[in-house]
A and B are shown apart, each in its own frame.
Chain A
Amino acid sequence: MVNALVGRKAIVAKLGMDAHWRGAIVVANALRDAGMEVVYLGHALPHEIVAAMLQEDAILLGLSSLSGNHMTECPPVLAGLRKAGIEDVAVVLGGAIPAQDEPALRKAGIAAVFGTGTSLKVTIERIGELVGEAELKRQRQHT
């Protein structure tokens, strides 16, 4: 259990048509073990991911891709979230992400990139921090 994550909601989605589910499901299991409620969305188009974030009021969005489609699929998700006014969430990306792509992804609004070989410990700790930050933003907005 991770305090910042207990009882919070996460959406895990696969980008485009990438077929590899192993990493996404392993991380989804780890998020659940850390206390989160996980909605595994499977494949979804950017606007479908945004709609699910709105409907579920999730604080974490975990995107996964191993096909190389992340540079075309991530920006529309992030733009869609902004357009929908969803700012107080953490969006993270995992999978086969070449190091040279990271700066552009971070700039587009991906809060953390968990490449191949990242441990669950590191992943969950970092997600705990990011969700904590998103939670602070939410509290500030409500006061």
Chain B
Amino acid sequence: MDASMGAPQDATTDSGIRVPACAGPEHIRPGVDQRTGRPGEFPYTRGIRPGMYRERAWTIRQLAGFGTAADTNARYRKLLQGGATGINGVFDYPSLRAFDSDDPRARSDVGRGGVAVDVRDDFDDLFAGIPLDRVSVSLVSSQPIGAVPHFAMFARAAERRGVAREMLSGTSQNDFLMETAITIAPEALPPAGSFRLECDLAEFTLRSVPRWNPVSVSGYNYREAGADAPLEMALTLAHGQAVVRELLNRGLEPERILRRVSFFLDAHNDFFEEVAKFRATRRMWAHWVRDELGVKDAASQRFRFHVQTSGVTNTARCAQVNIARSMTQALSAILGGAQSLHVNGYDEAVSIPTEQAALTALRSQLVLLHETGVARSADPLGGSYLVEYLTDAIEDRAQAIIRQIDAFGGIVAATEQAWVHGELARIAFATQKALENGDALVVGINLHAEDDAQPIEAFEIPAGACERQVERLAAVRKRRNGAGVARALDRVASACREGVNVVPAVIEAVDADATLGELGLVFRDTLGRWEFPLW
């Protein structure tokens, strides 16, 4: 490394890339113009559209979900009235994991961290009064075991209201790594089984729900669990590549898949490294699509992504200062060319956001979009010596990790062999040690930790939400035809065992009022249960 880089402690990014005190042309490898190109042109380093936000503003998509479907419906409406332009619906822990609200394991988490859903009727209430033919809906059904039934319930609820499947627009998060490496839970599916469900849902929606993004390949959650920026990029890209390859094997045309696969990244604290990450990831995807798959279609090469600001960077002490952190992180996402954004509520280190915190976060986005002028010009940091240097450097690092993953035999194998878990846990521990040593500084934690701010009020889910949900579920169990449910679940089990796409059978089952937990049990019994290799 050349002398202009300075002493390491002053001169490295969060992930350890050395940076100069002042970057100049001497830090940029030849060929930078070709590597960056123009916005809307290959390799899309500078953004996926020539006019970026002048052509289309990013979607203001604030995460929401708690209590029962009726509770969450009211929050969705409030956010839409307040300027949100899409729905970002998160489910409670049991619903994500396909456990019913009356399961003994679920009872203390019903309506926590998201909305409780058990049967198709819950989706009627969840989206009541929301024009599903016009508002796009991101279902944060992170884990395939829940994502498949959630989508079936959502699509049937919409159809029963007269909104045809073809009209639905939105996203299923649908990510096997969420199930097998990120959100530990009892009775996870094994990686291969979870990946198969993910691809079943993706295949089904690609064939019959043309405006649906079948997978939101997540980097966000790996980052929050411990990954640094290059590992976040590598896991995202390696997973995206695996999904696309599997769907190609299933006979779908590449353009059909690639135009609809979408991504989900973190916006963390290290501002310029994050901007570089967004730019480099976009470029790497475009190169893979063109160079590895040989796909020339421009729309297929465009890496479209949602961003959420970083939850782990937020502090419970001096919580109001999280507004400043989130705003800076959000700015990096916009300068990095995101298509869709969620800004965290300032109180989320303590609880899910109060209405006040959620609306403040929403309004922060409106400030960025309408007051600051940052959306005026595409890729405003393009050509900055520092940002171009970092974009190249982080690409090299991520590429090296992808090669490592490929050496395992791909992302599914790397997960089965616990490499993913080991890396996340290792970096998470190192990050905490850096904080303890004072190598990293966090206001309110190891820098000016005196808490002079007003204590914040924790959000409480509406009283009796769990009981109401369990009663609703009991009523559905009572009214339905038990023999019909059993037959429908048998058909789902057969589809699982025979390796045919499970989604049509799941749609029939939700129409027979099979519950999420019953479907989850069928998936576990047929696809297996897996012990998390975390320790």
Contacts and interface: CB of A to CB of B under 8 A. Distances in A.
Interface of A: 14-22, 25-26, 28-30, 38, 40, 42-43, 45, 67-69, 72-73, 96, 98-100, 115-117, 119-121
A73 B108 contact: yes
Contact of B425 (A20, A29, A116): A29
B104 A45 contact: yes
A89 B398 CA distance: 45
Nearest to B226: A22
A133 to B, nearest CB: 25
B230 interface: no
B342 interface: no
B93 A17 contact: yes
Contacts of A17: 93-94, 97, 99, 105-106, 109, 185-186
B351 A25 contact: no
Interface in B149-185: 182-185
Given A17-B93, A17-B106, A26 B534 contact: no
Q: Name the residue in A21, A22, A30 with the highest tally of chain B Cβ atoms < 10 Å from its Cβ.
A: A21
A122 to B, nearest CB: 10
B535 A40 contact: yes
A73 B93 CA distance: 15
30 contacts: A15-B108, A16-B93, A17-B94, A17-B106, A18-B93, A18-B109, A19-B93, A19-B182, A19-B185, A21-B184, A21-B534, A22-B224, A22-B424, A25-B534, A29-B425, A29-B429, A30-B429, A40-B535, A42-B534, A43-B185, A45-B104, A67-B109, A68-B352, A96-B316, A96-B351, A116-B349, A116-B350, A117-B316, A120-B433, A120-B436
Given A22-B225, A40-B535, A67 B350 contact: no
Interface string B233-254: 0000000000000000000000
Contacts of B96: 19
Contacts, number: 106
Given A16-B105, A98-B351, A117-B317, A68 B113 contact: yes
A121 B436 contact: yes
B428 interface: yes
Contacts of A67: 93, 109, 112-113
Interface residues of B, number: 46
Contacts of A120: 432-433, 436
Q: Name the residue in A17, A28, A30, A67 with the highest tally of chain B Cβ atoms < 10 Å from its Cβ.
A: A17
A69 to B, nearest CB: 4
B109 A116 contact: no
- List the 8 closest pairs (A to B, CB-CB), nearest first: A19-B183, A40-B535, A98-B458, A17-B93, A72-B108, A69-B108, A116-B316, A16-B108
Nearest to B143: A19
B377 interface: no
Interface in B196-253: 224-226
Contacts of A116: 315-316, 349-350
Interface string B291-318: 0000000000000000000001001110
Contacts of B312: 22
B322 to A, nearest CB: 11
Interface string B28-52: 0000000000000000000000000
A69 B105 CA distance: 11
Nearest to A28: B535
Nearest to B432: A26
B461 interface: yes
A14 B224 CA distance: 18
A42 B315 contact: no
B380 interface: no
Contacts of A28: 535
Contact of B446 (A14, A18, A119): A119
B8 interface: no
